[in-house]
Amino acid sequence: MFSNDSSKKCIKKRSRKQIEGAPLICFRLFISLSVVPGVGTVGLTEEQANDKAIDVKTSILDLDNVPRALVNYDATGLIKLVINAQNQQIIGVHIVAENAGEVIYAGTLDIKFGLTVEDLTDTMAPYLTMTEGLKLVALGYNNDVSKLSCCAG
């Protein structure tokens, strides 16, 4: 999921600490002339869930489907949900985006309170915010988000 060395180092720190329920945030870094988006992660990765014998499904949304990212002219990144396949409960939220640190708190609440994909899709998300991406990635679990209206979130 992450190809940049800085992002990989950031994620490794999470593996070492294993603070359950606490989000990890790596803010945007400027390296030479290339820009690395921020990273926010909370809960289990797909690999960690598989290691615990949890049957998971994932939903991944490229930021070019998030209206706020388009308005910001920065659709680099993605949002990924790791979902328990048995009960549709969200067990991991992973974000690579300019504002990942601002969005990951909502993902922390999703996990802390045992929210499901349906809980996210049934909840109103504020339009033209990066947090709307969490609802859109949940909608993408059962739908092709690119075929939904601009106001589906």
For residue 6, how many C-alpha atoms fall within 13 Å in the half-sphere facing its CB? Answer: 15
Q: Six-digit token pair at 92?
A: 């991991």
Q: Calculate ∠ Cα 66-69-144, nearest 5°.
A: 20
Q: Which CATH superfamily is domain 5-143 in?
A: FAD/NAD-linked reductase, C-terminal dimerisation domain (3.30.390.30)
Q: What is the mean pLDDT of residues 38-48?
A: 94
How are strands ordered across the β-sheet holding 56-62?
A: 24-26, 38-43, 90-97, 78-84, 56-62
The pLDDT score that the predictor gives to residue 8 is 56
What are the tens digits of pLDDT across the range 85-97? 999 999 999 999 9
Buried b vs exposed e over 37-66: b needs ≥16 C-beta within 10 Å?
bbbbbbbbbbebbeeeebebebbebbbebb
- What single-letter DSSP state applies at residue 150? T
The pLDDT score that the predictor gives to residue 1 is 45
pLDDT > 60? residue 153: no
The pLDDT score that the predictor gives to residue 113 is 96
pLDDT band at 17 (very low <50, low <70, confident <90, very high): very low
How far apart CA 149 and CA 153 sit, in angstroms, is 9
The pLDDT score that the predictor gives to residue 150 is 65
